[in-house]
Amino acid sequence: MRILLIEDEMALGEAIRTRLSQDAHAVDLIGDFASAVDAVRSTAHELVLLDLNLPGGSGMSILTALRRSGDRRPVLIITAADQLSDRLAGLNAGADDYIVKPFHLDELAARVEAVHRRHVGDPSPTVKIANVTIDKIGHQLWLDGVTVTMTAREWALLIRLADRPGSIVSKAQLEDALYRDGAEIESNTVEVYVSRLRRKLGRGTITTVRGLGYRLRDR
């Protein structure tokens, strides 16, 4: 999943990015209000982590503008504002979750996964398709009950497909799951990783929809 992280404490932001990268997420880090306003206009990010106190403006105004525009992407607030009134204001403005600093990075990662599952309408962390079982939280994969070893990028692509088994995912969407802003995208990267997954899971697990993208076999 591609995540937009809006956080002005760069050390914390880098720590969050490193932790979420372990779960095969691509995280773009923004540290000020003006850049954040520009970044949220892009539809590339599937989830937003939003600090409320930013240089140059308030994260709350970004959240309010998103919801007023009809943008329903999940937003998880990360902030030091710990009063009940602060939490209620954020949730009432349209945030999907709210976590107060300081927090454990593993808890944040778990909340990101939970919010995303609710958003895609799949509350279960496990996907079973024929003889393939995918644990999206534990990042484990079994083929006929035998564990299959995966690289971080293979996971990133597979989980993006597994969010909605049977639905078509475009090449551009898969590229967004693999790369952060500024990273050079090679033209055949998606094809290379799809080929690797097919070798590990069987060719019928991922199908090509010519001119549209790829889809994971419907469970």
Count of the separate structural domains present in the chain: 2
Per-residue DSSP letter, 49: E
Domain residue limits at 110: 2-120
CATH number at residue 137: 1.10.10.10
Indicate if 172 and 97 belong to the same structural domain: no
What lies within 8 Å, CB to CB, of 40 at 6+ separation is 4, 6, 48, 62, 65, 66, 71
Indicate if 97 and 147 belong to the same structural domain: no
Determine the Cα–Cα distance for residues 122 and 130; give it in Å rounded to an integer.
Answer: 18
Indicate if 201 and 116 belong to the same structural domain: no
Determine the Cα–Cα distance for residues 104 and 14; give it in Å rounded to an integer.
Answer: 14
* Nearest alpha-carbon partner for 74 in 110, 49, 41, 92: 49
Indicate if 114 and 130 belong to the same structural domain: no
Indicate if 97 and 134 belong to the same structural domain: no
Can you give the pLDDT at residue 50?
A: 96
- Of 102, 120, 138, the last residue of a domain is 120
Indicate if 158 and 80 belong to the same structural domain: no
Indicate if 46 and 69 belong to the same structural domain: yes
Determine the Cα–Cα distance for residues 35 and 49; give it in Å rounded to an integer.
Answer: 14
Of 2-16, 71-85, 180-194, where does mean pLDDT reach its minimum? Answer: 180-194
- For the segment 23-36, the average pLDDT, to the nearest whole number, is 91
CATH number at residue 33: 3.40.50.2300
Q: For 198-216, how does the pLDDT look when each residue is reduced to its tens digit (9 = 90+)?
A: 999 988 889 999 889 999 8
- Of 120, 148, 175, the last residue of a domain is 120
Q: Are 142 and 158 in contact (CB under 8 A)?
A: no
Indicate if 115 and 211 belong to the same structural domain: no
Indicate if 31 and 9 belong to the same structural domain: yes
Confidence (pTM)? 0.72
Determine the Cα–Cα distance for residues 191 and 144; give it in Å rounded to an integer.
Answer: 25
Indicate if 141 and 187 belong to the same structural domain: yes
Q: Count CA atoms within 13 Å of residue 28 on its CB side.
A: 26
Can you give the pLDDT at residue 185?
A: 65
Beta strands (DSSP E) in the chain are 2-6, 26-30, 47-50, 53-54, 57-58, 75-79, 97-100, 126-129, 132-135, 140-143, 146-147, 206-209, 213-216
Q: What six digits make up the tokens of 202?
A: 């069987």
Indicate if 16 and 80 belong to the same structural domain: yes
Q: Are 54 and 6 in contact (CB under 8 A)?
A: yes
Q: For 133-149, how does the pLDDT look when each residue is reduced to its tens digit (9 = 90+)?
A: 988 777 889 999 899 99
What lies within 8 Å, CB to CB, of 115 at 6+ separation is 47, 74, 76, 96, 97
Of 43-57, 112-126, 131-145, 175-189, where does mean pLDDT reach its minimum? Answer: 175-189
* Nearest alpha-carbon partner for 115 in 82, 68, 77: 77
Indicate if 105 and 147 belong to the same structural domain: no
- Of 120, 146, 174, the last residue of a domain is 120
Measured over the CA atoms of residue 76, residue 77, residue 82 and residue 85, the dihedral's sign is negative
